[in-house]
Structure 1
């Protein structure tokens, strides 16, 4: 059995040129026997840094909270340690990110669409592991009416599935829980937000890439692109090169080259084929790689 915890995130103002507002949802997938192990390790981390027992680990701490006043070094160290513990517990992750600047869907529609894409990746990971799973989501914001609506829409995934994946391995409807009581949901918040920040080109996300990379699920060909991180629309495909150093992207069993090539020309519609979109570091720099 695997327990899957999901949360959403976003970035309104990416640093990378060519990107618009990003909407994202992510999952952390735990082996059943590691759920309690992770909780104990997080309790120990909390004691080490002197964090009050009732406070939540958040990517964006609430104003006035202990974490908001703890200082940048404490927060950075906490984030890194959480990801290291997740790796020790055999956690696998998947994040789906939609660029609203390139396809301006209504935000609610986009959120539901990327949830279905995430669900497909959860099902595929469970099939690969030959396991069953239960999905737990953070309680959606907006009050009980929005919560009820979200649960009704999520129910379709676990009863009907999607165009490409049927609900074979997730054994019950998606359930919700308040994240302040569930440290695994707090990890989902970190993974989703940090990955989204890295795609957006923000330093506090990019500095975690080397810890996020070993957690991300991979496809049959060992690639994260499209499996542990799925970017939409697909003309963002070259970001898999700049983030993870991957030179090929596989779709339906066929590999295509991504990132810089010998050709002096970029393909139309692929803004990151020859440059990562980040501000140039100095006058002699022409291409800056995040990986």
Structure 2
């Protein structure tokens, strides 16, 4: 059995040129026997830094909270340590990111669609692990009405599945829990937000890529792109090169070169083919 914890995130104004608002959702997938170990290790971390018991680790910490008042070095070290603990516990992750600048669906429609993309990765992960799983999500914002609507939409995934994944490994409807009571949901917040920040070009996310990559799911060919990190639409595939350092994207068993090649010019529809999109930088 595996326990899967999911949370959403986003970036309204990415630093990379050509990107619009990003909306994302991510999962951290725990072997059942590692769930308690992760809690214990995070409790130790909390004691080490002097963080009050009733406060949670959040990417965007509330004003006045311990982490909001901590020094930048403490925040960086704490985030990295949480990811290292997760790696020691055998956690695997998947994050789906949608660019509304290229595909301007409503936020509600995007959230529904990317949850389906994430569910497919969860089912594939559980199948490859030959295990069953339970999915726990952070309680969505917006009040009880929005909460009920979200649960109804999520129920379709665990009863009907998607076009590409049948509901065979997730053994019950997705349930929700308050993140302040569940450290594993706080990890989902960190992984999803940090990955989205890295894709958007924010330093706070980019500096954690080396700690995020060991956690990310990989496909049968060893690549994270399309497995542990999914970017939509496909025009963004070259970002797998700039963010993850991968020079190949595999689709349907065929590898496609991404990022800079022998061509020294951008191709229409592929804004990141020869440039990482960062301001005043060109890494051709």
Following the alignment from structure 2 to structure 1, what is the Cα–Cα distance between the partners of residues 265 and 39? 50
Indicate the residue corresponding to 2:8 in structure 1: 8
Q: Report deviation, 1:280.
A: 2.8
1:67: Cα distance to partner?
1.3
After TM superposition, the structure 1 = structure 2 runs for residues 71-220 of structure 1, keeping only pairs within 5 Å, are 71-220=71-220
Q: Distance in 1 between matches of 2:267 and 2:68?
A: 44
Runs of 4+ residues over 4 Å off in structure 1: none
Distance in 1, matches of 2:41 and 2:14, equals 33
The aligned counterpart of 1:280 is: 280
Deviations 1:53-84 (A, max 9, x none): 00000000001111111121111111000000
TM-score normalized by the length of structure 2: 0.99
Map 1:31-42 → 2, pairs under 5 A: 31-42=31-42
Partner of 1:259: 259
Q: Which runs of 5+ in 2 are unaligned?
A: none
The equivalent of 1:56 in structure 2 is 56
Question: Residue 94 of structure 1 aligns to a residue in which SS?
Answer: strand
Cα deviation, 1:149-190, whole Å, max 9, x if unaligned, reads 000000000000001110010000000000000000000000
Distance, in Å, in 1 between the alignment partners of 2:265 and 2:273 is: 9
Query: After the TM superposition, which of the residue ranges 245-254 and 169-178 deviates more from structure 2?
Result: 245-254
Structure 1 contact 280–287 (Cα < 8 Å) conserved: no
Three-state SS of the structure 1 residue aligned to 2:218 is coil
Secondary structure of 2:29 counterpart: strand
Name the CA distance, whole Å, in 2 between partners of 1:260 and 1:87: 31
TM-score (norm 1): 0.96
Q: Write the distance in 2 (CA, Å) between the matches of 1:265 and 1:45.
A: 48
Tell whether the 8 Å contact from 1:217 to 1:224 is kept in structure 2 after alignment: yes
2:246 matches 1:250:
no
Alpha-carbon RMSD across the aligned residues, in angstroms, is: 0.8
3-state SS of 2:23 partner: strand
| CA–CA separation in structure 2 for the residues paired with 1:116 and 1:241 | 25
